[in-house]
Amino acid sequence: MNELKNPTDIAREALKRLAAKHLEPTPANFQVCYNEIAGLPDISPFPERPLRQLAAALVPHDSQQEAHLDALGQAIVKRSWQGVIDAVTGFSQAGLARQPAVPVGMLPDLLPADLAISLARVVESFSPFFGGDSPRSVAAADELVRLLKQPKVEMGAVRNALDVMACHVRSGVEEQLEIRDSLLKLLQLIIRNIGELGVDDRWLKGQIDGLLASIAPPLTLRHLDEMERRMRDVLEKQGRARIRSVAAQQEMREMLSEFIKSLAQMNRSSSEFEVRIEETARQVEKVTTPDELKPLLAGVISATHAMAEESAHSREQLRNLQEKVEVTEAELLQLHHELDNASALARHDPLTDALNRKGLDEALLREMASMRRKETPLSVSLLDIDNFKKLNDSLGHDAGDGALIHLANVTRGNIRPSDTLARYGGEEFVILMPDTALDEGVEVITRLQRELTKAIYMSGSQRVLITFSAGVAQVGPDEAGGDAIRRADQAMYLAKRAGKNRVFGG
């Protein structure tokens, strides 16, 4: 399991791997090694900067083109290829519709050179999306690039090529979605079959349940990454248990061999003792004087003592063997107990199934790295259930635990798949909201408050209204994650002071 968390350490290891593999130190090769070490998917980066340059170069001449230009900006923010293609196509078609008919030969219908070059770069950056399974799509992309790189780029030819490209992209996306759905169904069948083959392996059931949860739509890279981390922990413990089980089996064989040897020795000693007693009995029958009887009695006493000492030694050996067996069994039981709880205890709170502090720390580092790489906002919120001690005191700790589970379930049902829920401690929870500025984050948590009010919590037959106070903070460009959470905590405290059931920005 990769223990590197610091980007500097990962970069250092990536340089070492480049040298070990004798690869040229190009940015592309470095990115591949960096992704391998950091456990990141090796996906071609979204060309955000060239697309923003393209958007800045476009000059709208009417409201239609302004709308398409706005749509292009939104598609760049959402990193949506289909949105970029639709916006650029709409912009160009709106411009053509606006232009008056001009006699042929008087005004060439040409695309500006700088715009053509920018479009060519965009097409080149996403053409690897087609891969090697769609030669017609690759050919369409190459043809569009060829047209855009000509000295004079005709608008009509580009428009037609863009239309062809848009069709190929749409069909490619639809095909990939169908493939993904089919693979997910197949994977679910395989996982369920593996689970049915397991006999009395509770740790395997935990892995199966976790895998099925991770591949349930909507499928996100964050969910898969989290499941991979949990599985790595389980597999590590499983490997340790397997090694210890093999060693325990060897120890059991050796102990059984010793036991068999002890039994054989006891059997030989008993046989020798029996022969000696019989021989002594025969000699006793021939005794005629007391002096002749004395050495025979001494021999019997000596043999009896030897037999008793050997029996005591054998009992001690058996006792030691039994103790070793008990110790080995206890150790194996402990290893299996660790396997039973590995998935839940690794990075998840066992009560609410939200991330625990360790899981939160890893998720926060991942989201902050993504925030700085993409230059997008990241907000954190800290929630604290109002009057939780009073709830525990009046209804009992079971009701308090139920309230925590209820809040976690309602929260998961009302946040995005890209958001992260973690139990911070006690009745406090933290929500990480990527691509979310401070004002939007306050709106999200306020909406969650309203949904929690609608979802009444039932403690037995008693209806209990649960509310929370919350603070929201947007992580600064150079701010540590812990500092942002502390600012959210301070804002939450102010919300408590202001009357509870409120959300304050920090």
d(Cα 74, Cα 48) in Å, to the nearest integer?
12
d(Cα 474, Cα 481) in Å, to the nearest integer?
10
Q: Quick one: CA dihedral 352, 354, 355, 360, positive or negative?
A: negative
Report how far Cα 192 is from the mean position of its chain's Cα atoms. Answer: 20
d(Cα 238, Cα 218) in Å, to the nearest integer?
29
CA distance from start to end of the chain: 37
Tokens of 129: 């999306």
User: Peptide bond preceding 7: is omega within 30 degrees of 0, i.e. cis?
Assistant: no
pLDDT at position 501, please? 92
DSSP string, 80-138: -HHHHHHHHHHHHHHHHHHSPP--TTTS--EE-HHHHHHHHHHHHHHGGGGTTS-HHHH
Measured CA angle at 448 (ends 429, 385), to 5 deg? 40
For residue 365, which amino acid is it? Answer: L
Tokens of 1: 């399991």
pLDDT at position 381, please? 96
pLDDT at position 28, please? 65
CB 112: neighbour CB atoms within 10 A? 13
Helical (H) or strand (E) element with 434: strand 428-434
pLDDT at position 217, please? 54
pLDDT at position 445, please? 95
Q: Does residue 91 contact residue 134 with C-beta atoms inside 8 Å?
A: no
The 8 Å CB, 24+ separation contacts for 439-443 are: 439/505, 440/379, 441/379, 441/381, 441/472, 441/474, 441/505, 442/472, 442/503, 442/504, 442/505
Helical (H) or strand (E) element with 424: strand 420-425
3-class SS at 342?
A: helix
pLDDT at position 107, please? 42
In the sheet with 428-434, reading across from the earlier edge strand, the strands are: 420-425, 428-434, 378-385, 468-474, 503-505
Distinct helix (H) and strand (E) counts, the chain: 16, 9
Q: Does residue 466 contact residue 385 with C-beta atoms inside 8 Å?
A: yes
For residue 396, which amino acid is it? Answer: G
d(Cα 386, Cα 410) in Å, to the nearest integer?
16
Read off φ and ψ for residue 284, nearest 5 degrees. -60, -35
pLDDT at position 106, please? 41
Per-residue pLDDT tens listing for the chain (506 residues):
445 557 777 877 877 887 888 777 766 677 777 778 877 765 556 677 777 777 777 878 777 888 888 888 888 877 777 778 888 888 877 766 555 554 544 445 777 887 888 888 877 776 676 666 567 777 777 888 888 888 887 777 777 777 777 776 766 666 666 666 666 665 665 555 555 544 445 555 555 555 555 555 555 555 555 556 556 665 666 666 667 666 766 766 676 666 666 666 666 666 676 676 677 667 766 766 666 666 766 776 776 767 667 677 767 766 776 677 677 767 767 766 665 555 445 577 878 889 888 889 889 999 999 999 989 999 999 999 999 988 888 888 888 899 999 999 999 999 998 899 999 988 999 999 999 999 999 999 999 999 999 988 888 888 889 999 999 999 998 899 899 999 999 999 999 999 999 999 98
Q: Quick one: CA dihedral 11, 17, 21, 22, positive or negative?
A: positive
Please choose, from the candidates 380, 357, 376, the residue with its C-alpha nearest in 3D space to the C-alpha of residue 477.
Answer: 376
Helical (H) or strand (E) element with 396: none
pLDDT at position 80, please? 78
